Chains A and B, each alone.
Chain A
């Protein structure tokens, strides 16, 4: 038997998700004051895909809607119940502290996407190939710096917009060519909808995508 871990908590939900990942049994392993929720497999799964990620998210979300949980990084396998209990024993203090950090709180994901191509995608005009190359390099560096500066400005603006309800915020500025900012915002569960409304706005150069409330994935980083 192998266990695929979904979440760790200290309380019991009123209702468990009916089944685990891929229709496998969902098991609760209790140790001391901790409970861990895991899907039971006869053997480890070789490959996971999008459907598995979403199923794991559904299970964690179902638990998180009822109780405070620490989501497990996907996929986390344990050999059996004893191995899971040993981990719960060994990490009890860490889990307790992390659960206190996320208690009563949810994560809002904010993705800010550029609405136009970066400047460095447009080839510069120059009379010679050498000059064109140098202008292109200069344009790439300048454009990148401008975008990073704008990304940092957007991060500061987002933090200001949610400051009334903000518990913690983490940013990634310009994580990919199309994304100006990817932020995780930890807020009280009761404030989530108001926070979403406050973030919704129009900017001339970016488009803002808001997801959540999600379980506090970003803030359950117990390693």
Chain B
């Protein structure tokens, strides 16, 4: 393939070539970074919560007056919920994974200040593990004798002697999940540190805030505490196929029990996730739209400049054809020319992609761009250039040799 004449021709039409190369470079730089961010967002949205997502739902009532017998209320509610056909497990809970509202505490291995791991705290007088459908990877669930009762009107401390931690907490503090069983860790640090013994480890359990940064998103523990607060908050696990009906029945049953409270939450787990990640999804969609727009605009730019060159060079093409060049040669000429330009653009674009990423890292604490995105972006932009130039190149090949004989 004779590159020499192409380079000579390019020297005469530098502007168009530079424009295309610049556009390719900018597109590559932006697309790599945008897709990297999209991937991170979607990974956050898709990560498992640990909860049996197609079985569990949340139902919560707030008191509209003073409720004296909170334990009685809880027991009556649980009984009513268990009586609904299709219900597998019920637990009164303090908060719900991924629901954006919950409790947080610091956990340390030795009770010494300074090393607290921020941890989301769940508790229930029933089996939180069973009601949420969590998976125990080591140890056991709580037994009934371990359950403590805490009434927020009379008790100032909320604590228990035993705890089930998430695998993330276990691995942060100990060698592995098995190793954590039986060990004592502390809630808080310093004078107020409260010891608690690990009896079990669940593999995955997202905190209620479910932050996008993974480091502490799965850092959670469960206490066997029957918390007697003013709100009535339950996790119900039902047969997947019957859940929608069970939810309706649950509302009817609990609303009929007492008139002095108001339903504030009734959501299945998918809905809870959907609401929590609305922002991540919106952000990802916006970036996907920008990426598609960019690729289209760049493709149209390549088509535009290539078409311009074809119309400018009609006469030369005719001459080449008249001198014996085949259509294939003409197509090959334009395709090669385009590949040369896009390659230069890609080379510049790689540098710009890394530069843009470094800028975003410093400004927005984004992660470093993995090389895979550069390679992927490179191939995508290259293919885009190739496809975009085919149309104009085809039209160039259609120029009849006879045009060489006409004046202009």
A and B associate: no
